[in-house]
């Protein structure tokens, strides 16, 4: 007697218990990464403190100030970008951009060009 029974087709990985477990682990891992990247969204240093730090190291007496909260890097890290300038906003005569760490208050970039 020969066995002429048709072969059962194999199920794709997504339909097997192991495949479902792997997909669940993948989704949970992606959710954990997303939660970690969004966890620290508020800066510890206020905008006013960042302006004061920038004014302390300014190379001139600024007439105007503009401040923006920016994020850099992966995972992202918050900074205050403080623009100090003289003259009208559309055509300033002098500008200095100071970058202040939003968590520590340290000046990261003083905006001054280094001489070679």
Domain count, the chain: 1
Any domain includes 56: yes
Hey, CA dihedral for 89, 64, 87, 80, is it positive or negative?
negative
Contact 96, 107 (CB under 8 A): no
- Percentage of the chain exceeding pLDDT 70: 85
Hey, CA dihedral for 7, 13, 18, 20, is it positive or negative?
negative
Any domain includes 1: no
CATH number at residue 96: 3.10.450
Any domain includes 81: yes
pTM for the model: 0.62
Any domain includes 73: yes
Any domain includes 63: yes
Contact 45, 100 (CB under 8 A): yes
Any domain includes 26: no
Any domain includes 59: yes
pLDDT digits (tens, 9 = 90+) for 38-86: 655 677 889 999 999 999 999 999 999 999 999 988 888 899 999 999 9
């Amino acid at each position: 007697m020969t066995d002429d029974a048709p072969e059962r087709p194999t199920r794709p990985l997504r339909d097997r218990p192991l495949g479902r477990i792997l997909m669940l682990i993948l989704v949970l891992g992606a959710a954990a990464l997303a939660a970690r990247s969004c966890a620290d969204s508020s800066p510890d240093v206020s905008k006013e403190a960042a302006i004061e730090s920038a004014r302390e190291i300014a190379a001139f007496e600024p007439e105007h100030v503009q401040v923006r909260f920016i994020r850099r890097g992966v995972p992202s890290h918050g900074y205050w970008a403080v623009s100090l300038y003289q003259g009208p906003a559309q055509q300033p005569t002098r500008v200095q951009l100071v970058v202040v760490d939003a968590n520590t208050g340290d000046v990261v970039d003083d905006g001054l060009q280094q001489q070679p």
